[in-house]
Every structure is written in C-alpha cells, then in structure tokens.
Structure 1
Amino acid sequence: MQQGLATSADGELILKLYELRTEAVMRQARAWITGEFWPTTAEEFFVVLNDFGSQKSCYLRQVVTYWEMAASLVLHGSLSADLFVDCNPEPFFILAKLAHILPAIHEKLPTYFSKTLQLIEISQPAAARYELARKNVAARLEARKAS
C-alpha cells in the first residue's frame, strides 16, 4: 500500500471518483443507502439485495460495488490510502450501518464489503474513520428510536 504524500495522479483519480459519485442515478442511490436503508436483520438486507431488478436492489449493489472498486484501487497501489480516507467517509459509514449484521451476511456472501474491510485492517486512518462512523451510526440509531 502506498505510503507518504499523495501524487498528482492520486489527486486526479480522487477527483474522478468524486465526479462519478455525482452522476444522477449514483447520487439517488447514495442518498437512499445512507439515509433510508437501515436494515435491522440480515434477512431484511437480503430481501432488498435479492430483489433483482428492483430500484433498491440496484441502488444497494451500485453503491457497494462502487466503494469496493475504490477500495481496490487503494489496495492495489493506484491511489493513496490516506488521501482516499481523508476524502471519503461514506464507505465507512455504510459499512458501519451493516456492522451488526455483517457476520450473518458473510455466512452467505463471505466477500461482501471485503475490500473496505481489508483497507480498515491495514490502514490506521481507515480504522479510525470506521470507528468514528460506528459511533455516528450508533448515535443516529438512538435518535431514530427516540423519534
């Protein structure tokens, strides 16, 4: 994994990733997965995931595979890990939303979100970002329960 300062190529790639995130359907998918999708069980998760052709299933697959692709770029040395983590809290937030059901998801899909998890294992900044996201998710869940 790349260490040290990000390069100009890293900057160009991070801007391209940002540009891809702003595409209209991707923006809708990201809004749904970050704001509306709060599965409480793996069964709820799989109902959405396995409803092939439905908008929500497409959104879920689009966003997760996007972030997994981006994490793969980091893991293969094409993008600075520190720059990626600094610029992208969203994959860690989505993973944190699924953390409580991830073991059950992995029973059926052992590699689900594996690239982001691998990044968290080998990068201290990614691990710290993920822990912050877990706290954020816990606070949001408490707020949702209260309302």
Structure 2
Amino acid sequence: MDDLIRSINSLEIEKITGESQETIKRWKKGTKKIPESAIRLLKLYANGDATALLGKDWEGYTFSNNMLYVPEWRRGFTSGEIRAMFWKCQLVASLESEIRLLKQRLEESQSEIEALEIKADFYRQQVILESRFGMMLQRSFS
C-alpha cells in the first residue's frame, strides 16, 4: 500500500479522496493510518480494478481512460454507451410486451377464422342440400 501512496501525486490523492495535504503527508510518512475507503479509492484510481471498490462480484472489470472494461468484451464502454444499454433494455422489454400482445391477438384471430370456416362449410353444405332438394321438387312437379 505504501508503494501505491508514493506512486500517486499528492494533488491527485487530494482530488480523489478529498483529504487535506497535511493528512496526505501523514499517510505518506506512515504517521497516520490510511482509511480503508481511501485505500479502495486509490486502488481503483491507480489500477482501475473495480473489485477494489465494488467487491468480488466485479472481478475482472476494470476502469481505464474513462471506460469500463468487461472481461467478456474486447473494448471498453463509455458512460454514454452504458446509459444507452439501459434504454435499450427498456425498449426490449417494451417490444417483448408488445410481441406477447400481438401473439395473443393473432391466436384470437386464428380462432375466429377457424370458427368462420366451420360456419362456411356448414352453409356450403346447406346450399348444396337445398339446391338438391329444389331440383328434386322441380322434377317431381314438372
């Protein structure tokens, strides 16, 4: 940890931790213990390792050049891309809901079509029977 503190400029440490220059000098001399929160922030700043601040679930995730690097992906994500992913997730959820609704309507329409086809077959048979009956009557009385 001492190497980490010594490797970072005092002004940068002040900017990162918000501590005074006097406190930072004491940290560097070893006369004052560095708080765990400051150590984690400095590790994140120096190494870019997200586990330093966020825990073991973030192992392999790193921050560098204002980008978040994910272990499964080659290049980093900017804050705008991460924000866009949130909106895309919302859009996907909305579209999935719309797809479910459209599938339901399609199934209802298919059921109606099947019912109409059954009625059409019935009326077709009725017309055939009535026309045969009419032909029989015509032959009988002619």
TM-score, normalising length: structure 1: 0.21
Query: In terms of Rg, which structure is larger?
Result: 2
TM-score normalised according to structure 2 size? 0.22
Higher strand share: 2
Q: Larger RCO: Structure 1 or Structure 2 (Cα < 8 Å, ≥ 6 residues apart)?
A: 1
